[in-house]
């Protein structure tokens, strides 16, 4: 019959394996898994089954990010995007001179007759 691990060694191994799997310390009690005679690896699996909140986190960690790598742009596409950005910035600057509520021209104080007051950061 295989010799059972010391509780301190078992606990250290369990916590190490759990940190590798979930990337955080276990919150709930896990000594009952040692008393059942489970190995640390089996105990981690059982612990995750007992505590579904950790199982969800493990699933989130296993999902690969779905970000697509950026494809290289041709110089024509790059110039087109740059012109679009410049046009947006110019339109934004032009529109910032007017009240968004009534379309009156805002003066230097950024205060409109309708009561709209532009914030300092805008």
Nearest by Cα to 102 from 111, 93, 94: 111
**Residue 111, SS3 per DSSP:** strand
- Per-residue model confidence as pLDDT tens digits over 44-97: 899 888 888 877 777 777 766 565 666 788 889 999 999 999 999 998 888 888
Taking a C-beta distance cutoff of 8 angstroms, is the pair 22, 60 a contact?
no
Q: List Cβ<8 Å contacts ≥24 apart for 9-12.
A: 10/34, 10/40, 10/43
Domain ranges of the chain: 7-62, 93-122
- Per-residue model confidence as pLDDT tens digits over 10-56: 999 999 998 888 888 888 888 899 899 899 999 989 988 888 887 77
Q: Please name the residues in contact with 100: beta carbons below 8 A apart, sequence gap of 6 or more.
A: 116
Query: What pLDDT score does 85 carry?
Result: 95
């Amino acid at each position: 019959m295989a010799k059972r691990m010391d509780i301190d060694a078992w606990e250290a191994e369990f916590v190490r394996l759990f940190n590798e799997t979930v990337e955080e310390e276990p919150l709930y009690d896990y000594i009952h898994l040692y008393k059942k005679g489970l190995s640390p690896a089996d105990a981690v699996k059982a612990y995750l089954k007992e505590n579904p909140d950790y199982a969800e986190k493990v699933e989130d960690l296993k999902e690969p990010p779905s970000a697509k790598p950026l494809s290289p742009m041709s110089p024509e596409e790059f110039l087109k995007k740059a012109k679009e950005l410049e046009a947006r910035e110019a339109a934004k600057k032009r529109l910032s001179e007017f009240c968004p509520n009534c379309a009156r021209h805002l003066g230097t104080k950024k205060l409109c007759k309708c009561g709209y007051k532009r914030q300092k950061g805008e």
